[in-house]
Structure 1
C-alpha cells in the first residue's frame, strides 16, 4: 500500500472568508464585455472596476472604505471613446491608473487626492500609437513611468509615461494576450494568440526565445517567476485546463491538468511567499499552489470554494493587507449581478504579534530607477520595505507625475 506524503508548508491551511455584504461593494454596473480580462484593479487606496457605458468606455473608482450600496450616478472615469478592456494601477503612485481601450488608445489618469466627486474625462497622459484595440496594459515593476501596452494590431509598445512618448514598438506574429515583466524588469514575456510564448529584450525589441507551451487554441496567460522561470495557464488539445512551469529557454519543467472547464485562468503571483492563486473566469473557486525548486515544483495547497461564479477579479498588493490578521492575500470578486465581494485569505495563528515568517520584506511604492536610467540600460529589482512598517505607517502616496 502506497501513499503520497503531504508536503509541510506554513501556507497549507490558508483559508478564504468573504466579508459581509455591507463590507463589500454592491449595485455596480459591471461591464458585459466578453474579452478575457479581470475587469478589476485594486491598490491600498482605491478599487477600480470597468463598467457598462453608453457611447464610450468608463470605469468606476471607489475609495476602499466606501463600501455598501454604490449610487447609480457615482462619478466615473469616462474619457475613452469606446469600451475599456484593461486597467492597472501604477505600482509607484497609488493615485495613478492606466487604461487600454477599443478606441486604440492608452490613457493614464490621476485620481484626485480627496477621491472622485465628479466624472473625470481628461487624462493626465494620452498615449496614441496602436492601430487597433488595446487589450493589455502592464506597468514596469521597478522603473518609474515605464508602461507596456499590447494591442490587436499585433504590437507591444513600451511607453515613457512621464514624457508621453513611445520608447519602442515591437511587432509580433499574432495578438498579444498577456505579458509579464521579470523580477528586475530587464525583459518581459508575452503569450500570443498563435499559442507561443516569447521572451523579449525590451530595449532592443529582440525576441530572445520563443516556443509553444499549451497546445489548446484558447488563451494562454504567462507570469514571470522570481527565479527566472515562467508559469503559464492554458488549455490542452483536448480542451483541459492546465498550468505549467518552464525554464527561461522555454523547456518544460512540469505541466498539470486541472479540469475541463472552458474559462480562462488568471494567475496571481506573490513573489514573497512563492504562492500562485488561480482564478478562472466563470469559476466559483480560487485554487492556490506553492512553487518550489524541487520536484514536483508546484504543490497544491488548498482551494477556496463558493457558490457564485466570478465575472472578474482584483488582487490587492501585499502592502495593502492587514498583517495583524495574518492576511496574506485579498481578492475582490466581481459577480454578474453587480456585487464586488471582498475575500481575505488568512493563515490561522493564535498569537496577535506580527508574524515575520509570513511577511518577508515586500515591494514598496518607491521606484528603484527613473525612466531615463532604465532606458539607458540600468536594471534593478523592486525596492523592498518591511510589510509591518508599510501597513503600520500607511502609504505616503508618492506623487511622481505632474498634476
Structure 2
C-alpha cells in the first residue's frame, strides 16, 4: 500500500527526478537524473534505508539542461549513459568510478530525446527523437551508423529498443493517432519488417524485451493491461500471445532483472506496476511440471563480466544458468534444506509391468539479503545429489531386470 509520509527516501536532488535505473553489476547502486541538471549515483545500504539518504556516492555535473534519460552499460562496469531532454539534446557517457566524461555527443540529435537503449553487448546504443528518427550510434566513433527516418508518423512520443539479432523495435503513433509497434532490420532500414496497430488510446507505449525467451512486453501509460508477444525469425515476426489485465491503470512500470526471479515457480518475468494507491508486483509464470526441480523455461540469462570500459563490437557477455543458479556462491541464499525421499517399490501381479516410484525433493529458502554460501556445504550437497542419482540409476536397472522376469513368467517361459 501507500508508504508512510515519514518513510526515509533518497532526497539529494534539488529538482524533480525524471529517470532512475538500478546498476546491473551491483544490486545496491542506483543512478538518477533530474531537472536540476545533475546525474547522481547512490549506494543503498544493505538493510535498506533507515534515515533519508541525501549524499550520493558520485555526482556527475556536465549537463546544462534537465536530465531525462539515464541507462547503465550492460557489460562494462562503471559506465553510464545520460541524455538531457532540454534544448541542448546532449548525450554523455560517464566513467562513474572517476566521475569523468568518456564521450560527449552533441550534434547527433536536433530535437528532444525520448529514450536510449544499449544493445546486448554494449557496442551500440539507439535513441528515439522528437524529429521521428531512430538513430543507432557508435559511441567510440561518435557517429550515427544507422538512421531510421519517420519510424512512426504520429507526433506523440515514441520509444526504441534493441531486440534479438540487433533488430530494433519501436513503439509510437500513426498519423491517425493509432498506437503502433514496428520491427526494423538494422541492415535495411528503408522499410520496416512489420508494423502492427494496437488501438487508439493516447498513452505512450513502454516496451520491455526479454532476450532469453524472445518475449516482448508492451505496457501503456494509463492502461490497465500488459500485452505480450513472441518475436521470431519468420514472418510475421511479431506473434501476439496474450494480455494481462487488471482494474487499476498504471502510471509506470518497472522490470525485475532475471536473476531476481523465482525459478522454482517457473517465473519468467516480474513487473512492478505503479498506480495511484500502491506499487504492485505482477508475476509472469509458465504453468509447467518437471520430473525434477530443474529446468525452467528460461534456462539462462546474461551475466555481464566486469569490464572497465566499452568493448569492441563482438559479443562477450557470459550466460548464467538459472536452473542451477541456487548452487552458486553469488546467488541470494540464506538457508538451504535438503529433503530426499525414495519411496518403496511394489509389484502388482494382476497387471503387467513393475510399478515403481522414485521421488527426489530439493527445497531452497531464499532470504532478502545476499549472503555468500559456504563452498564446503555446496560441495557436500553436490556430492549427495550425485550419490542419489547413482542410487536411482541402480534401482532403474533392477526394475528392468524384474520387469523382464515378470514378462517371462506371464508368457509361461518360467
TM-score interval (norm. to shorter): 0.7 to 0.9
Q: 1:327 aligns with which of 242, 245, 267?
A: 267
Q: 1:185 aligns with which of 104, 114, 122?
A: 122
1:241 shift after superposition: 0.2
Whether contact under 8 Å (2:93, 2:101) holds in the other structure is yes
Q: 2:302 aligns with which of 348, 363, 381?
A: 363
Q: Specify the SS of the correspondent of 2:323.
A: helix
2:181 paired with 1:246:
no
1:355 shift after superposition: 5.4
Relative distance call for 1:315 and 1:273 in structure 2 (3 A) is same
Q: Which has the higher strand share?
A: 1
Name the TM-score, length of structure 1 as normaliser.
Answer: 0.78
Q: 1:259 aligns with which of 196, 199, 211?
A: 199
Q: Specify the SS of the correspondent of 2:10.
A: strand
2:363 aligns with none
1:200 aligns with 137
1:219 shift after superposition: 1.0
1:307 shift after superposition: 1.4
2:211 paired with 1:278:
no
1:160 aligns with 95
1:294 aligns with 234
1:226 shift after superposition: 2.7
1:121 shift after superposition: 0.6
Whether contact under 8 Å (1:244, 1:255) holds in the other structure is yes
1:383 aligns with 318
Larger radius of gyration: 2
2:45 paired with 1:112:
yes
Relative distance call for 1:71 and 1:352 in structure 2 (3 A) is farther
Q: Specify the SS of the correspondent of 1:80.
A: coil
Alpha-carbon distance in 2 for matches of 1:150, 1:218:
19
Alpha-carbon distance in 1 for matches of 2:296, 2:266:
11
For residues 303-342 of structure 1, what are the alpha-carbon distances to aligned partners after superposition, in whole Å with 9 as ceiling and x for unaligned? Answer: 00111100111111111111111111111111113x1111
Q: How many residues are matched? A: 326
Relative distance call for 1:392 and 1:330 in structure 2 (3 A) is farther
1:55 aligns with none
Whether contact under 8 Å (2:38, 2:60) holds in the other structure is yes
Q: Which has the higher helix share?
A: 2
1:183 shift after superposition: 1.5
1:4 aligns with none
Q: 2:5 aligns with which of 53, 68, 72?
A: 72
After alignment, is 253-262 or 223-232 more displaced?
223-232
1:388 shift after superposition: 2.4
RMSD: 1.8
For residues 99-149 of structure 1, what are the alpha-carbon distances to aligned partners after superposition, in whole Å with 9 as ceiling and x for unaligned? Answer: 000001110010111221111111101111111101101111111111111
Structure 1 unaligned residues grouped into runs of 5+: 1-25, 28-69, 399-403
